[in-house]
Structure 1
């Protein structure tokens, strides 16, 4: 019987359990996928902790790669035997599962399973943020928090390919070296440096037109202070905790700023948007402009340990589970 990581109550990583599960034949619009690699993302932690509530008991994990075993009625774009990857509803921390087939993208021979599992959700996130939330142009200077993380390393490479100047923040000197190696023009160790002041110094006092912030509570207010007038604050994560309620008038006082809270799942809800984003990501991989960096692999049964390391921000690059 296939195994899967599930949780019956919200809480810390200890609530994750490895259980035997029954996986039946795919229904209409579904495919049954046997995983070969599984991506670990912060949204998995938000689901497990209850920050983003799910009906319980629940599976966990939104990203995986593997082989299609069977398809249900009406599915024509993938077939049994196809190598695929997806970002979709929770349940990817498993050996076998049913997936809505419209979430699957086929993998060509030059995209390895582990690469796809490590990069699809994060790469689609970067594509949405830098090509749609704010269309980054050559010559722009942007601030990206957590520049040595799984999303951050992809973003830095993508931004450099677009011709941007990248200021990245990290939490340690070790991570600073990793961010520089990926293309960061300036790296700020925000745990010991005043990052808003440093950003102002690097930009001659002007600030930046856009800040991408997945850290949340610890960096939110400082991020606003990094923006130029009419600048855009893109808050897309809560690694340090959720941003508390604040007075919207602050945005006016700090320069008529804009604020958005995007989710990649909204940006790829339509099949055509998913395909467009995946095609752009895979082209970046093929041309070498973006390289997947897997910082840690763990067996499926060690999913709790992988989440602990990610939430403690002890990892660099992507975290992948192997069923």
Structure 2
């Protein structure tokens, strides 16, 4: 499997490579879809993970390969403005899928949530997954946390402690 990361800076490119990205696309200066197609020799990708959404969301269908999935797990830039069904029908040659993920699927499934959390905690304990931590701040430093987020300078998670 080849992992393509999209980033805004050289620092974030190094971070992404250090966390397993095989290829990098600089989304502020490159056409993400065209570059993804180039990196896959025209085949397209199997999965696009999008946490931004917004007006560009449906355009990422063009990066998908056959049976590819475009997954939204947040909508920082709002919802797509384009008709999703119409956009998908423009790509019938690849049979694309769009999926939305929310952890709230487990709101009424206590056993499912606990099983998932046990698996995550087990993976953390075995170092099978190693979350990147950008900063550990006290709750009274919440302004600093927001500044890091707004600047886009956090490389990993920001942990707030009491």
Which position in structure 1 is the counterpart of 2:32? 195
Match of 1:292 among 112, 131, 139: 131
Distance 1:316 1:166, change over 3 A: same
Report the count of equivalent residues. Answer: 159
* Structure 1 unpaired stretches of 5+: 1-163
Which position in structure 2 is the counterpart of 1:246? 82
Counterpart check, 1:279 vs 2:118: yes
* Structure 2 unpaired stretches of 5+: none
Which position in structure 2 is the counterpart of 1:208? 45
Match of 2:74 among 211, 226, 237: 237
What do residues 146-165 of structure 1 show as CA deviations (whole Å, max 9, x unaligned)? xxxxxxxxxxxxxxxxxx32
> SS of the residue aligned with 2:87?
helix
Answer 1 or 2: which has greater helix percent.
2
For normalisation by structure 1, the TM-score amounts to 0.46
> Offset at 1:237?
1.4
> Offset at 1:274?
1.3
Which position in structure 2 is the counterpart of 1:171? 8
Counterpart check, 1:316 vs 2:155: yes
Over aligned residues, Cα RMSD in angstroms? 1.9
Cα distance in 2 for residues equivalent to 1:278 and 1:172: 33
Cα distance in 1 for residues equivalent to 2:81 and 2:32: 22
Distance 1:320 1:292, change over 3 A: same
> Is the 8 Å Cα contact of residues 225 and 254 (structure 1) preserved in structure 2?
yes
Structure with larger Rg: 1
